[in-house]
């Protein structure tokens, strides 16, 4: 009953807002506020001026044109439209590329048609080592000349050489000396990297690509036309209205809609990677990846944890738990990589997990546990190396030690070496205290074997195995699959927020 009343209340609120939007009172107030806003702008930037807005006529907004004048702080991408617009369009594109011209123009036309309802974010990318033109576009944005520069690129650019780009910049009235300085000090590399990171995080696979309030289009953007952009806008606008009816604040709308899209994605299809060893039940475990749950909880009591990699530990932490790599955050999704540190496959899965942690920033916590076959011919070496990592963690450098040992293994292509050489190399490269490490190894001899027995009793039978959300993936997973699994795990705890009451 409560759910039905909430839904009814949402529909009533929505109807009231749409009715009042057409009243004379709303028209008068909106007109006055808009006039005051435009009159109060104290700075200017060259931005396109839209024609009389179709939205204004429909919603009774009472003005014929809007000129959005924005200040762009460093690190903020060029944009058009109000910050709290109900629809946010993100265009990932390459300036000057023929494939990006039509999507750029379509995004501009969409904003001109809906200047108060659409915010377009232009995310400049770089490819194949070409830095000068993308950096020039971002420098133009920093100087308040992004849109004149893009127009000049479309009409005047004859090549991507610095001299040719300077001519275009001069035509757009850029400060060429500042442009040269930007090229020389690489000041816009961080912005380009940030755009690429966001593109990957949002799973935008094509270049160019476009998202409407966090949602990709069903077809490649290069195949879309004006009607397709308009249809995608209307669908995004309906999603925005539903979110507002649920009580989402206008300033939180863009982030909320983006997260809602992630939460509604289906459980990803998983293809497992190769393993170092096989057991009798390996085929059964791998037959339906992601359906096999842990048989028992994996405890972390007495095992080391590393929240930030450190090469020069200074203090002992006996109360720590798992070796991990993450940044502090609220409720990050745990990813356990259980593997043999003397295996090349272990190195690869750890690299994938670490990259995923960097991609998703503070939303994932990567952990490592030793897992190897005690009957294998290299079991003694694996146990000795794993014990060293656990002891390095007691001394404060577990993840650094893990990085060093697995990187050495990768360079040796998995070739077996003497256990004592493993320890000596670790002490030298991780800058560990040799006597303290030796004392720890003597006191905690066989620690990794006991941990392997615990993991095997929980159902982990082959190495490497990745555990996400209590589900085992023997053989590990690809980078894209791990990202999807983590996002799905994060979304499961957030789906309930999609039904907040108005």
pLDDT at position 434, please? 87
Q: Is the same domain home to 94 and 19?
A: yes
What's the confidence (pLDDT) of residue 71? 45
**Do both 204 and 333 map to the same domain?**
no
Whether the ω angle into residue 208 lies within 30 degrees of 0, i.e. cis, is: yes
pTM of the predicted protein model: 0.63
pLDDT score for 277 = 67
Handedness of CA 123, 127, 129, 130 (dihedral sign): negative
> Are residue 258 and residue 295 in the same domain, yes or no?
no
Whether 489 is in a domain gets the answer yes
Is residue 237 located within the same domain as residue 362?
Answer: no
Residues 220 and 291 in one domain: no
Q: Is residue 417 part of a domain?
A: yes
- State the pLDDT at residue 152: 95
C-alpha pair distances (Å), 130 with each of 194, 197, 378: 16, 17, 47
Task: Among 236, 263, 290, give the residue marking a domain's end.
Answer: 263
In-domain check, residue 355? yes
Residue 221 sits in the same domain as residue 298? no
The per-residue pLDDT for 501 is 36
Domain with residue 12: its CATH number is: 3.40.30.10
Instruction: Please count the structural domains in the chain.
Output: 2
Residues 371 and 247 placed together within one structural domain of the fold? no
Instruction: Please list the ranges in the chain whose pLDDT falls under 50.
Output: 1-9, 12, 16, 18-45, 56-63, 67-71, 284, 302, 304-306, 308-322, 324, 326-330, 495-502
Is residue 159 assigned to a domain?
no
Task: Decide if 147 is inside a domain.
Answer: no
Helix (H, G, I), strand (E, B) or coil at 375: coil
Per-residue pLDDT of 437-481, as tens digits, reads: 889 999 988 899 999 999 999 998 889 999 988 889 999 998 888
* DSSP letters spanning 128-160: TT--HHHHHHHHHHHTT-HHHHHHHHHHH---S
Sheet holding 215-216, edge to edge: 79-80, 118-124, 87-93, 209-212, 215-216
Which pLDDT value is given to residue 314? 29
Is the domain of 237 the same as that of 349? no
Do the beta carbons of residue 468 and residue 335 sit within 8 Å? yes
* Alpha carbon distance 224, 206 (integer Å): 13
Q: Are residues 24 and 89 in the same domain?
A: yes
- Distance linking the first and last C-alpha atoms of the chain: 16
- Domain residues for the domain of 220 are 2-131+186-263
Same domain, 225 and 112: yes
Q: What is the pLDDT of residue 23?
A: 42
Same domain, 304 and 259: no
pLDDT value for 46: 62
End position of a domain, from candidates 213, 231, 263: 263
């Amino acid at each position: 009953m409560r759910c039905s009343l909430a839904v009814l209340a949402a529909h009533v609120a929505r109807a009231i807002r749409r009715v009042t939007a057409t009243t004379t009172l709303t028209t008068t107030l909106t007109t006055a506020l808009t006039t005051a806003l435009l009159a109060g702008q104290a700075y200017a930037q060259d931005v396109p001026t839209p024609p009389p807005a179709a939205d204004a006529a429909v919603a009774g907004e009472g003005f014929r044109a809007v000129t959005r004048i924005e200040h762009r702080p460093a690190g903020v991408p060029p944009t058009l439209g109000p910050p709290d617009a109900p629809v946010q369009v993100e265009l990932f594109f390459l300036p000057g590329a023929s494939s990006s011209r039509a999507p750029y123009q379509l995004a501009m036309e969409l904003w001109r048609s809906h200047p108060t309802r659409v915010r377009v974010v232009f995310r400049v990318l770089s490819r194949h080592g070409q830095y000068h033109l993308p950096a020039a576009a971002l420098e133009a944005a920093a100087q308040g000349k992004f849109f004149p520069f893009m127009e000049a690129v479309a009409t005047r650019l004859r090549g991507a050489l610095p001299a040719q780009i300077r001519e275009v910049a001069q035509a757009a009235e850029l400060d060429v000396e500042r442009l040269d300085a930007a090229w020389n000090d690489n000041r816009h590399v961080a912005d380009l990297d940030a755009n690429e990171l966001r593109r990957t995080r949002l799973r935008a696979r094509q270049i160019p690509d476009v998202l409407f309030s966090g949602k990709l289009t069903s077809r490649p953007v290069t195949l879309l036309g004006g009607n397709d952009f308009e249809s995608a806008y209307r669908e995004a606008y309906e999603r925005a209205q539903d979110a507002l009816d649920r009580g989402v604040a206008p300033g939180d709308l863009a982030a909320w809609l983006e997260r809602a899209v992630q939460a509604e994605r289906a459980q990803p299809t998983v293809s497992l990677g190769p393993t170092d060893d096989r057991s009798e039940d390996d085929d059964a475990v791998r037959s339906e990846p992601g359906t096999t749950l842990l048989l028992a909880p994996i405890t972390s009591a007495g095992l080391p944890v590393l929240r930030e990699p450190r090469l020069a530990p200074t203090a002992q932490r006996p109360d720590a738990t798992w070796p991990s790599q993450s940044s502090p955050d609220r409720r990050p999704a745990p990813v356990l990589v259980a593997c043999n540190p003397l295996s090349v496959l272990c190195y690869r899965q750890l690299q994938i997990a670490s990259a995923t942690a960097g991609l998703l920033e503070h939303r994932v916590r990567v952990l490592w546990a030793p897992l190897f076959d005690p009957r294998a011919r290299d079991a003694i070496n694996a146990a000795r190396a794993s014990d060293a990592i656990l002891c390095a963690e007691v001394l404060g450098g577990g993840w650094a030690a893990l990085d060093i040992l697995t990187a050495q293994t990768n360079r040796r292509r998995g070739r077996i070496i003497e256990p004592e050489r493993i320890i000596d190399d670790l002490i030298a490269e991780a800058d560990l205290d040799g006597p303290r490490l030796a004392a720890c190894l003597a006191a905690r001899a066989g620690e990794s074997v006991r941990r392997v027995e615990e993991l095997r009793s929980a159902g982990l039978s082959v190495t490497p195995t990745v555990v996400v959300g209590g589900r085992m993936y023997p053989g590990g997973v690809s980078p894209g699959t791990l990202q999807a699994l983590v996002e799905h795990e994060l979304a499961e705890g957030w789906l309930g927020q999609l039904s907040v009451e108005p």
